[in-house]
Amino acid sequence: MKWKNGAKPLLPLFGERTLLQETADLICELNEQATAGELDHQDEQMPDAGFVDLVRRLDREGKPLVICGDVNTAHKEIDLARPKENENTSGFMPVERAFLDRFVESGFTDTFRLFHDEPGQYTWWDMKTRARDRNIGWRIDYFFVNRPLVPCVEDAWVEMHVPGSDHCPIGLKLAFE
């Protein structure tokens, strides 16, 4: 990815921070994939506390924020094909979902769910089992915005038809006055 407007990463571990038309900050966070049993699910480790502190500080400063990336967690049951079978699987464990609950309660909005409340809309499928062919997936890639940006959100979508990876692209359309 290219840096826009001379922006540089805040910290190497936190991906990219980019100015959007000098109107809002875009912060991308990618988490490494883990499998069940690899994580020590201590709440303070999910995600990196420094990243959370950074986002909360910028939000307190009143800066409009877009937080995006692969968070490797399906937030609600609607966000994966088989929630009951995956209750104890990394990516849908209660502690992971509780973090996203608190994140949303603190003022961040899952932009996709502003427009789409139907099941079967996923962003990741297991390639080993050819799960994409059967749409047995998880929605683990997100665009979140804080309160100042919610009125600017015009659309959010997933492009499940785009092949080539175990993830599909996601999109967000913002309108700034």
CATH of the domain at 161: 3.60.10.10
Judge whether 99 lies within some domain: yes
Judge whether 33 lies within some domain: yes
Judge whether 150 lies within some domain: yes
Verify whether residue 43 is a known catalytic residue.
no
Q: ω into residue 148 within 30 of 0, thus cis?
A: no
Q: Supply the pLDDT for residue 49.
A: 67
Is residue 124 within 8 Å of residue 166, measured between CB atoms?
A: yes
pLDDT in tens, 115-139: 999 999 999 999 999 999 999 999 9
Measured distance CA(151)–CA(149) in Å, rounded: 6
The count of structural domains within the chain is 1
- Annotated active-site residue in 43, 48, 53, 70: 70
0.85 exceeded by pTM: no
Judge whether 169 lies within some domain: yes
Domain membership of residue 81 as a residue range: 12-174
Judge whether 1 lies within some domain: no
Judge whether 3 lies within some domain: no
